[in-house]
Amino acid sequence: MRAIGTKDWGRALHSPRARWGAIGGAAAAVAAVAVGIGLWAASGTPDEPYPDDTYAAAPGCDLVPGEEVEDLLGEAVNDTDTTGPLHGGEHTSCAWTTHGAGEGGTLRVGLSARFTDPSADPLVTGDERTAESLGAAAPANGAKVDLPGGEARVWSGQVPGTVELAYHVDNLLVRISYAGYSDDSPSEAEEEVVGLAARLGEGL
């Protein structure tokens, strides 16, 4: 699926979100937890990159284009931008939020570099560990999506008004959680999240 233009994003997502006041807090909390599921729970002993690992570190939040965040959320605040050690790798957490009259939302992006475990017999590559993390993160009913350089799954979150995506590129797992769209257009919201993931894939 191709990444859609910013004008289309604006038309699709800058519509009234009447139910945000009721579900926004719960959706944001679930989104925050969802980005971590399958990342922090994955196990492995090494915390240093292996020579064959494509990503020797987790990318920063500047990978996410500011104009794309604005198209999704309007005037949003970047309230999380951290990078730190992950058991067997490194993880970056990013979050933007906005609240307004009748609309608002939360966008969370997790970037997790999984490193090769040379102590395993046979050796377990970072790419293999990332594939395992993708399997742990995505539910069985997650729709498969072809994205630049890898594979992805997209699905509706447990709370109405949320979309989740997990994206495997080499030894990097990208997680996106978007909360706050009107619950009468989940397919449009999923398309927008896939479009954002495609833009991130182009920058990797």
pLDDT in tens, 127-184: 999 999 999 999 998 999 999 888 899 999 888 889 999 999 999 999 999 997 655 5
pLDDT of 188: 85
Are residues 164 and 131 in contact, defined by beta-carbon separation less than 8 angstroms? no
pLDDT mean over 68-83? 91
What the block records as the tokens of 134 is 């993708």
Is residue 19 within 8 A of residue 186, CB to CB? The reply is no
**What does the domain layout of the chain look like in residue ranges?**
6-203
From the list 13, 30, 18, the residue with the least C-alpha distance to 159 is: 30
Scan for tokens 């069985």, then name that residue. 140
* pLDDT tens digits, one per residue of 185-197: 778 889 999 999 9
Over pLDDT 90: what percentage of the chain? Answer: 54
Sign of CA dihedral 74, 80, 82, 86: negative
* 66-73 vs 6-13: helix crossing angle, rounded to 10: 30
Inter-helix orientation angle 186-203/6-13, to 10°: 150
Quick one: pLDDT at residue 131? 95
Contacts of 73 (CB under 8 A, 6+ apart): 13, 96, 97, 98, 104, 105, 106, 107, 180
pLDDT over 50 (residue 88): yes
Tokens of 57: 């570190």
Specify the residue for token string 């990097």.
172
DSSP annotation string for 140-193: TTPEEEEETTEEEEEEE-SSTTEEEEEEEETTEEEEEEEE-S-TT-HHHHHHHH
Ranges 26-35, 91-100, 155-164: which has the least confidence:
26-35
Pull the structure tokens for residue 191.
């398309």
Separation of alpha carbons 133 and 175, rounded Å = 11
177 vs 156: CA distance, rounded Å? 10
Q: Output the six-digit token pair for 110.
A: 């997790």
How far is residue 2's CA from residue 7's CA, in Å, rounded to a whole number? 14
Q: What is the pLDDT of residues 50-74, one digit of tens each?
A: 999 999 999 999 999 999 998 888 8
Q: Could you give the CA distance from residue 175 to residue 111 in angstroms, rounded to a whole number?
A: 7
